[in-house]
Structure 1
Amino acid sequence: MPRLVLIDGSSYLYRAFHALPPLTNAAGEPTGALFGVVNMLRATLKENPEYVAFVVDAPGKTFRDDLYPLYKANRAAMPDDLRAQVLPMCEIVQALGMPILRIDGVEADDVIGTLALQANADGIEVTISTGDKDFAQLVRPGLALVNTMSGSRMDSDETVFDKFGVKPGQIVDLLALMGDAVDNVPGVEKCGPKTAAKWLAEYGTLEGVMAHAAEIKGKIGDNLRAALERLPLNRALVTIKTDVALDGNAQSLGMRERDTDSLRQLYQRYGFNQALKELGGEVAGPVAEKEPGRARGNGFVAAASMETAALDPALSAQGEYEAVLTEEQLGALIGALQRADEFAFDSETDSLDPMQANLVGLSFSVEPGKAVYLPLAHEYPGVPAQLDRAKTLTALSPLFADAGKKKLGQHGKYDLHVLRRHGVAVAGYADDTMLESFVLNSGSSRHDMDSLAKRYLGYDTIKYEQVAGKGAKQILFSQVALDDATRYAAEDADVTLRLHRALSSKLAAEPGLESVYREIEMPLVPVLERIEANGVMIDADELRRQSADLSKRMLIAQQKATELAGRTFNLDSPKQLQALLFDELKLPAVLKTPTGQPSTNEEALEAIADQHELPRVILEYRGLAKLRSTYTDKLPEMVNAQTGRVHTSYHQAGAATGRLSSSDPNLQNIPIRTDDGRRIRRAFVAPPGRKLIACDYSQIELRIMAHLSEDPGLVRAFESGVDVHKATAAEVFGRKLEEVTGNERRAAKAINFGLMYGMSAFGLARQLGIGRGEAQDYIALYFSRYPGVRDYMERTRQQAREQGYVETVFGRRLYLDYINKGTQGQRAGAERAAINAPMQGTAADIIKRAMIAVDAWLVDHASRALMILQVHDELVFEAEQDFVETLLREVTGRMAGAANLSVPLVVDSGVGDNWDEAH
């Protein structure tokens, strides 16, 4: 049977634009959406359909705009980067020999629908290639929907029902009830697909639902009745037109001969190397992923596109894997590891918590494409015999302990924890692919193995769910069959080695970034592993007392809120708060949610807290609730049963500026300026005979600002050792130091810190409670006294615009995606980041360098002192009482010497029985 493929070109272009990384060619032209569409077209053509059409929307209005003038009125203008890819997309489609259809007055959906039904009636098998749910209304025998991007297919009543809960003939009614936010077709409020499907199952059709609207109870019934008048219009808007007047039919849509010369030129221009290889053409240079603010023409490709892997078959081919089950195989493995200069390894366990996980197996790779899995603790009926875990680890320990033998991993800190807890010390941990990727482009949101393999190798890894299941049916890795476990685990080591080969060459091309990686990030891995393993003691009884107190105060806040509102309401319900604050109390809705509803988030409530007492009470309630749920209730439950301590996890690849973050628990967000936050710190305690010591950099980002700006006045203020905010106030307001008032110092402090974070005159005015004009005068005075700061800020903005990134003192980069494009707000945000990132990033680099230096000293004093916490610019230690003075001297000296700035680094310190006392 002949086959017609109708491609929803407009849908795929948008979907590819949003789904794929923002790629560019060597000339800096955007190619991400184009890349996705071209791959989809190539896949379609490999199936050799007899007829094919690439259908796109025509410009201008359609008949739906006449029916409903607000149709699609909420759609934003096409992004410039996407618009730039439309013409080359059409050029490639034409060169491939595909007909392009664009009909005025109707949408692409209507052209596709008309052709699909005509061809179906003529006995032609029809496939609509789309991701648009609206087309489900057309599914019937011989007419299928295929989403080439996801691989899903709907070709029968059953497949449509499985997806939507209704049959194809009811899809239009379903869509009419639900509405379509993308096209600005408002449906029945709060009616989602399940409710709509339930109504249609009961009443059959939209007309049936409307006829029985009076029977539907509750708020949803009220919503249905309120929407009855517009439901027929909804149905007309979502119905695909199938009688569009066309000049031809399916038989006129045969493929033309492709224009190979034009294709070759287009593929070369846009860097589509795999497609070019299929034509037999010369492969162009790798396509650069347009990471935030990538400088053009600098020869640096941090993250190659998914095409790049095709240039190196060794990095993208399927691997050869085997399980090690005998002593002979283990001996061969140890021999291979001994002969290798470096090897990749990975551990498999039964838990994500490295402080609890049991080792199930290890995988190793010394050559890309080859790896082995060493199962040690799989347990299920019929499992093959495995080597003894304890004896095997003893045999492997010398290799792991050999500092001259380079080891590499992906997020290897986890594996170091697991091996340490099983008696294996690891030295010579030399490379980590997660950190290589992070240093190359810290602005990228994902540095996990699956994402990196896809991005840098063009390789689809086996997902954990594929071997262990998901949800309630997921099994432990120890229960995974050895064949499946070997494929999954050995691939981890193999892909890690491949990624290292791909990423290390990119780092080598950037000496500044390689220095950050080699001198800061990699040496920090074992340091963080030791800090996490040390953990911190907490006083669970103290936290329980605090929880009880917080609960009482929350109840008082609830009662106060009820009195102010004049009725009871749920303080945790945004919907009830919206109705109370904005409908009943008529307070201004300063901020809106993405859906256009009045926001009740913290910023929105702060903005109206001066107009009514209730928002302030709600904020107080929320603050208390957050402290209780996040810390006082949760921390006692997180005490490790084996160590009696709480062990947080630190993340090196979490913040683009290089700042460390922590989780489980997150200790970075305990408020320090409130009494309640300080009370929580009191629950972090020293064991008997020991003290807690806190060492904190004083005003480190301001000192870095002085160093970077080289402003004589600011440098002089720090060199003199006086209160810098007071000194700033004296300069700005023309006073002697002793004459500066508290309000003037407060204003100077707000300016000092505000400028680093890009605060505007409006923000400063709001913070200080003064007029905008007065705030602008303060800023002007500041710049007149510290012109070097103003010059630094302008110089940094200009450099960011020219090169697309900013750097820390030590060479760490932050790419700025919107510094030269996007909306005015996006550009302004990028400029603020450009000014702040060198300071935040340098501060992050400095404390990391300090941690490395301090840890090296502590190694010889591990029985007397431990580094237990890092929070922002602060390090916390636990030490024997008679070792405190030594520790203070050695630690503060190393922290102060972690960077050579033009102003001194000052470290404040304190000692106590708990963290609050030491702070």
Structure 2
Amino acid sequence: MPRLVLIDGSSYLYRAFHALPPLTNAAGEPTGALFGVVNMLRATLKENPEYLAFVVDAPGKTFRDALYPLYKANRSAMPEDLRAQVLPMCEIVKALGMPILRVDGVEADDVIGTLALQAVNDGIDVTISTGDKDFAQLVRPGLALVNTMSGSRMDSEATVFDKFGVRPEQIVDLLALMGDAVDNVPGVEKCGPKTAAKWLAEYGSLDNVIAHAGDIKGKIGDNLRAALHRLPLNRELVTIKLDVELEGNAQSLGLRAQDADTLRQLYQRYGMNQALKDLDAGSPAGGASIAEKEPGRARGTGFVSAVATDTDALDPALSVAGQYETILTTQQLQALLVSLQDSDEFAFDSETDSLDPMQANLVGLSFAVEANKAVYLPLAHEYPGAPAQLERSATLAALAPLFADATKKKLGQQGKYDLHVLRRHGIEVAGYADDTMLESFVLNSGSSRHDMDSLAKRYLGYDTIKYEQVAGKGAKQILFSQVALDDATRYAAEDSDITLRLHRTLRAKLQQEPALQRVYREIEMPLVPVLERIEANGVMIDADELRRQSADLGKRMLVAQQLATELAGRTFNLDSPKQLCALLFEELKLPVMVKTPSGQPSTNEEALAAIADLHELPKVILEYRGLAKLRSTYTDKLPDMVNRDTGRVHTSYHQAGAATGRLSSSDPNLQNIPIRTEDGRRIRKAFVAPPGRRIVACDYSQIELRIMAHLSEDPGLVRAFESGLDVHKATAAEVFGRKVEEVSGNERRAAKAINFGLMYGMSAFGLARQLGIGRGEAQDYIALYFSRYPGVRDYMERTRQQAREQGYVETVFGRRLYLDYINKGTQGQRAGAERAAINAPMQGTAADIIKRAMIAVDAWLAGHASRALMILQVHDELVFEAEQDFVEVLLPEVTRRMAEAASLSVPLVVDSGVGDNWDEAH
């Protein structure tokens, strides 16, 4: 389908002027807005649209001034630096061969609207390149809005609704109610976009809002009634005119031949060296980048420079290690932006003043395009004598289009943190393509460390600068914003340089392993932005409920302490392992069942559980510890972790935490809230939905057993799941020779223990202890189980053998777990490796499945961001917060995508629930 691009030239000129630093050419003429607009034109020309027009406002009054003489009356005169760039802008646009349209008596919006509607009706695909919200009223099939400076796109009713809370046909009514301060259109006082959207959601249109004005209570209702007389005029002023008389149509807007001589003169005059190079090379774009270097620019003061002063800066042949530059001037920034614009991929890293991405302030950014060279862009270093740095907001605005360009691949090390920081500073990152931490993790998940320092040493033989070397240690450690710029540059630029070098090393290794490459490309990398969104969404908690629970737990801890004192016959510190050892093993003479690595008696949970049947005191101590852990970890701590800006708790998910691929979480750890105890479930009651919304929980049913059935292909196990039976009852019926309906509770419990225990390598001794039966009886249960499910026994033996031969096992999707001790080490180490070999394919496949589900669900939720959020992932469960009337839409869409996340030989079943809090929904 042919495409028409309509560029809102006036809008982009103003936005580029205010967004970019005040750049000048060698003669001192202002060029900042020119660079911004021409860079956008360059990108547009590279897309080769069939038709294109650059539309600007004509001088003089329009029909809106006749309707309302005060229209735009409060606009200040155009700044002189901007006025000086209008004529050269038009000269460049004309020389590029683009038609320039301006029509007397109407605004550029009306010309664009008329052309766009005509083109859509003629079967032409239309893109309006603008940052003006008014154009949202035009969105329909075949007509999209693209903000080239931010990278955002609106091309459907859903995308408009997500941004404004109304449909495209309601935008005019929304604007009429809100008014427009820029155009001096007074709306309803104190009526912002949310209030206007709320009224339109309830009443449907401006006319109906006016008709029901008497029903709206409070001060805002008074304000509405006071504005009723001007709302019809407001609607007329904000409506884009769609019937402007034009001399031609879309088909007359083809590109003309470029005037190369004029372009060359203009590019030379305004210092657009890259555009000049493109022109001389015959590039069809022939455009400029906002990152153009100016002749004769200064080097970074006092720092080794990787960027030369001529047009051949950033020559790929330059590869001297450690060549790092500090960006301090607009000329250096221009050079940096040129290099990023001209590269297919670049590494970046953020420097901040906090490890918490939801609190951190951006101090600087580093970038690397070539190995052994990098730059550091300081933005907020504050210390006596610190050099002047580029203004942060304007500099970030200049970088924003590059970060938003999905065609530019971005590389990072544990980049989810950086995505958070940039988002909080107004920059959305598209095209986050590679993460060295995840490349290392997928290559060998069993390795304990995937941080940059360890990876640099392991793969590059390189010792990185440590944070303590530039910021100090302990109480004397300073914030990075206080680190001197020469030290900061060496440290920060090295991060991006090493990231780039590591990526190129690890990428080659992954390419040699197609299965691992698929895990990395199809699961781990797409999950990064999903997790960033979940973390940013956060979860609301009821702090008062947690405080009530803390008080209750404290009382019960005191009761447990008193009972323990009575049982011991003396006072002692329940939290002291040394005092517990003396009491339990010396005074009470209880047997030592578990020892520490140094050979001393242990008092950990396993050790106390092992002797709990021999004396009541270990049970009481275990109860006390459980209560204390809940209180210190959750009920006391969570209220203090509510983010002051969002009012929510934000956990951090770790992709490279567990060797099997399972996600873990921290700060707070929400994966370990006990679910089998009443106290643990009570904590979930404090995870709540805000008014008008509900908590929705969707949980895979017995997913690892289903994976066992798939991997083992055991007919009995497969049949139980295919029939939809209670698998534990079905197992008990097989093992004990009963009809399903005759299975007792104890028999089901035994079958359940065997089903799950075998996956984790439970021995007859472990099963006997869990069921409270003799070891011989437990061994008979296991033997009987394998006789009824021989496929499971065969799978386990087959997996052990494959692990011994290959040194690793794999999930259904190809994730690999290396087993270092499968053929060496002590007997205990080999036994542990065999247990891991059996369990890892099931647990790892379950991890892969829920990650795939999260990616699929997140993609669907993108069209409903205002109505539902994914807020938690806990093991095999996804938790959402949704508008009450959207729950019925959400549930089938989510459960279907979760069920379709893998194709197994048995069905994936998803249980779901809805409630005002997480406990009710679970």
Give the alignment partner of residue 491 of structure 1, picking from 491, 494, 519: 494
Q: 1:657 aligns with which of 641, 657, 660?
A: 660
Q: Hey, what does 1:728 align to over in structure 2?
A: 731
Number of the residue aligned with 1:65: none
Is the 8 Å Cα contact of residues 320 and 373 (structure 2) preserved in structure 1?
no
Give matches, 1:292-691, under 5 Å. Answer: 318-691=321-694
The count of residues paired between Structure 1 and Structure 2 equals 607
In 2, distance between residues paired with 1:811 and 1:592? 38
Cα distance in 2 for partners of 1:782, 1:628 equals: 41
Normalising to structure 1: TM-score of the pair? 0.66
Task: Give, in angstroms, the shift of residue 727 of structure 1.
Answer: 0.3
8 Å Cα contact 1:315-1:368 kept in structure 2: no
Deviations 1:721-776 (A, max 9, x none): 01000000001111111111111100000000000000011111110011111111
Query: Which residue of 709, 713, 737 maps to 1:710?
Result: 713
Is residue 321–residue 373 contact of structure 2 (8 Å, CA) maintained in 1?
no
1:825 aligns with 2:807: no
Match of 1:748 in 2: 751
Q: Deviations over 1:133-162 (max 9, x none)?
A: xxxxxxxxxxxxxxxxxxxxxxxxxxxxxx
Match for 2:788 among 785, 790, 806?
Answer: 785
Equivalent residues in 2 for 1:97-246 (5 A)?
Answer: none
Instruction: Mark the CA change 1:315 to 1:550 in structure 2 (over 3 Å): closer, same or farther.
Output: farther
Alignment correspondent of 1:70: none
Q: Distance in 2 between matches of 1:356 and 1:907?
A: 36
**CA apart distance, 1:593:** 1.6
C-alpha distance in 1 between matches for 2:465 and 2:702: 47
The separation in 2 between residues aligned to 1:598 and 1:469, in whole angstroms, is 40
Task: Report what 1:17 is aligned to.
Answer: none
| Equivalent position amino acid for 1:823 in 2 | T
Deviation at 1:359, TM superposition (A): 0.3
Q: 2:897 aligns with which of 894, 898, 904?
A: 894
Whole-angstrom CA distance in 1 between matches of 2:884 and 2:340: 45
CA contact (8 A) 2:319 2:373 kept: no
Cα distance in 1, alignment partners of residues 423 and 544 from structure 2: 31
Question: Could you tell me whether the CA contact under 8 Å between 2:717 and 2:789 is conserved in 1?
Answer: yes
Q: Match of 1:77?
A: none
Matched AA of 2:802: Q
Quick check: 2:537–2:869 contact (8 Å CA) kept in 1? yes
What code does the residue aligned with 2:529 have?
Answer: P
Distance between the aligned counterparts of 2:569 and 2:473, measured in 1? Answer: 48
CA distances 1:141-189 after superposition (whole Å, capped 9, x unpaired): xxxxxxxxxxxxxxxxxxxxxxxxxxxxxxxxxxxxxxxxxxxxxxxxx
CA distance in 1, matches of 2:860, 2:434: 23
Other structure's SS at 2:377 match: strand
Deviation, structure 1 residue 543: 0.4
Give the aligned partner of residue 759 of structure 1.
762
2:696–2:881 CA contact under 8 A, matched in 1: yes
Q: Name the SS of the counterpart of 1:879 in structure 2.
A: strand
2:364 partner SS: strand
Q: Distance in 2 between matches of 1:784 and 1:315?
A: 69
Distance 1:657 1:816 in 2: 12
1:834-877 Cα offsets, whole Å, 9 max, x none, are 00000000000000000000000000100000000000000000
Q: Which stretches in structure 1 are left out of the alignment for 5+ residues?
A: 1-312
Rounded Cα–Cα distance in structure 2 between residues aligned with 1:599 and 1:474: 37
Counterpart AA for 1:445? S
In 1, are the aligned partners of 2:857 and 2:894 still within 8 Å (CA)? yes
Measure the CA separation in 2 of the matches of 1:877 and 1:656: 27
Cα distance change of structure 1 residues 604 and 315 upon mapping to structure 2, 3 Å threshold: farther
The percent of aligned pairs where both chains have the same amino acid is: 89
Given that 1:315 and 1:457 are in contact with CA atoms closer than 8 Å, whether structure 2 keeps it comes out as no
Post-superposition, which runs of at least 4 consecutive aligned residues in structure 1 deviate over 2 A?
313-318
Q: How far off is 1:316 after superposition?
A: 11
Confirm or deny: 8 A CA contact 1:443 1:814 kept in the other structure: yes
Structure-2 separation of matches of 1:543 and 1:724: 37
Structure 1 Cα separation of the partners of residues 555 and 320 of structure 2 = 62
CA distance in 2, matches of 1:336, 1:738: 72
1:359 is aligned with what amino acid? L
The correspondence for 2:702, drawn from 693, 699, 703, is 699
Note the alpha carbon deviations across 1:56-105, whole angstroms, 9 max, x for none: xxxxxxxxxxxxxxxxxxxxxxxxxxxxxxxxxxxxxxxxxxxxxxxxxx
User: Quick one: distance in 2 between partners of 1:525 and 1:316?
Assistant: 31
Q: Is the 8 A contact 2:822 2:834 kept in 1?
A: yes
Tell me what 1:112 maps to.
none
Residue identity in the other structure for 1:622: R
Query: What is the match of residue 802 of structure 1?
Result: 805
Letter in 1 for 2:531: L
In 2: Cα distance, 1:315 partner to 1:852 partner = 40
Offset at 1:833? Answer: 0.3
Cα separation, 2, equivalents of 1:315 and 1:703:
56
Gaps of 5+ in 2: 1-315
Shift of 1:315: 13
Aligned 8 A contact 1:316 1:459 in 2: no
Structure 2 CA distance, aligned partners of 1:403 and 1:314? Answer: 27
Work out the CA distance in 1 between the residues paired with 2:650 and 2:863: 22
Distance 1:422 1:398 in 2: 14
Q: Which residue of 2 aligns with 1:837?
A: 840
Change (3 A) 1:729 1:361: same
Structure 1 residue matching 2:571: 3-state secondary structure:
coil
Alpha-carbon contact 1:314-1:368 (below 8 Å) kept: no
SS at the partner of 2:880?
strand
Find the aligned partners of 1:315 and 1:573 in 2 and give their Cα distance: 61
Q: Is the 8 A contact 1:316 1:457 kept in 2?
A: no
- How far residue 318 of structure 1 moved from its aligned partner, in angstroms, is 3.2
Given that 1:524 and 1:852 are in contact with CA atoms closer than 8 Å, whether structure 2 keeps it comes out as yes
The SS at the match of 1:810 is coil
Is the CA contact (8 Å cut-off) linking 2:581 and 2:603 kept in structure 1? yes
- The answer on whether the counterparts of 2:319 and 2:371 sit within 8 Å (CA) in structure 1 is no
* 1:315/1:733 CA distance change after superposition, 3 Å: farther
Q: CA deviation at 1:314?
A: 11
Deviation of residue 428 (structure 1)? 0.2
Indicate conservation of the 8 Å contact 1:413/1:525, yes or no: yes
